[in-house]
Amino acid sequence: MNFFISASLAFFVLSIYTAHYIVELHKTTKDSAERDFVSKTSLYVSIEEEEDVSYSPLQQDYYRDSCPSAERIIRKALKEIYKARPSIAPSLIRLLFHDCFIETSSEKEAPPNLSLKGLDVIAFIKSELENTCPGVVSCADTLALATKEAVSLAGGPKYSLRIGRKDSLVTFKDIAQRELPSPHATLSEILARFASRGFSPQETVSLLGAHSIGITHCTFFQDRLYNFSGTGKPDPELNTGFLQELKSKCPFSASASSPSPCPDTASAPSLPASDYHTNYGVMFSDQQLMASEETETWVRAYASDPLLFQRDFIKSMVKLSSYHVLTGPLGQVRTNCSKVLPLN
């Protein structure tokens, strides 16, 4: 059983709910959010103006000669998919995070990745690219560009992205299991994990805003409802009313880890677009952002200034998608994203 957080109406909403207060902003609909995000030219986020890219192996026009229609193919395919399946936006954001955090695109069988969705969409888009430009566009670039489009379709800012990534030559299943952050992690563990990838506490807070939308499995937070820290009791930080609502969605039973969607989502919190840190924080790791003065400061800063959050989120997303990328002979262009090509 899953707990439905939100899909098409929510974007950039990380909820920090404590026993004492809720940080909350104004609520908007997806349509008004799109106007807020897209109609203002200042919200087209350009990262290049703040970075020295003269020596970067990634370039915005990387496929100009080899596959000039690549981005158009990705954009068209994703628009059609999004119409029927708006939940693909959070799925791709999460998929990109898992892909980049362990420096490869091949760990879908590692336990933290077993609940990932969107792999079928990337496979479909990749097949469309292969029909036009066989063996040219990497799976890594396909995912990065598809996620960029998903962010925009979900009401987020448009942004530019440099491309030219290659796919890994090997898989890192054990690394994926060991290095991906846990939803049960403490704040110190979260910050240490992100710091090892070069992300500051501020960037970590902004990236965790991606937890605003999508579906999360009950198993990821069931301990907060029934046996927090081995006490046999709920997490005392959970609001009583919210606790009861979560329990109704995730009853204590063997079925709680089922991958099927929750059958009744009508009473689930509806999280509005363009807000940040509002309403409810389901996973323990998200609520931990209020556990230190530094991260709490950024929670409140983003809550009071959505435009600041939007800009910082995109900057962190671009940084994440460029983390330890493989280029040139260090990688390959897979024809099937789930299979490493044989080495010559």
Q: Is 61 annotated as a binding residue?
A: no
Q: Is 234 annotated as a binding residue?
A: no
Please list, in sequence order, all residues whose beta carbon lies within 8 angstroms of the beta carbon of residue 246, skipping any fewer than 6 positions away.
3, 221, 224, 225, 238, 282
Catalytic entry in 20, 26, 98, 277: 98
* pLDDT, tens digit (0-9, with 9 covering 90-100), for 255-290: 444 443 333 333 333 223 333 344 455 666 667 787
Structure tokens at 243: 């606790």
Q: Where are the beta strands (DSSP E) in 192-321?
A: 214-217
How far apart are alpha carbons 195 and 311 in whole angstroms? Answer: 20
The kind and range of the H/E element at 287 are: helix 284-287
The structural domains of the chain, ordered by start, are 2-330 (1.10.520.10)
Tell me whether residue 26 is one of the annotated catalytic residues.
no
* pLDDT, tens digit (0-9, with 9 covering 90-100), for 74-131: 999 999 999 999 889 988 988 898 888 775 544 444 444 444 678 999 999 999 999 9
Q: Is 181 annotated as a binding residue?
A: yes
pLDDT of residue 213: 56
DSSP annotation of 184: T
pLDDT of residue 344: 67
Structure tokens at 157: 């800012």
Block mean pLDDT (10 aa), the chain, length 344:
30 34 32 38 49 65 97 97 91 87 52 64 97 97 96 88 92 62 81 92 87 62 84 84 83 52 33 38 70 89 86 92 90 92 80
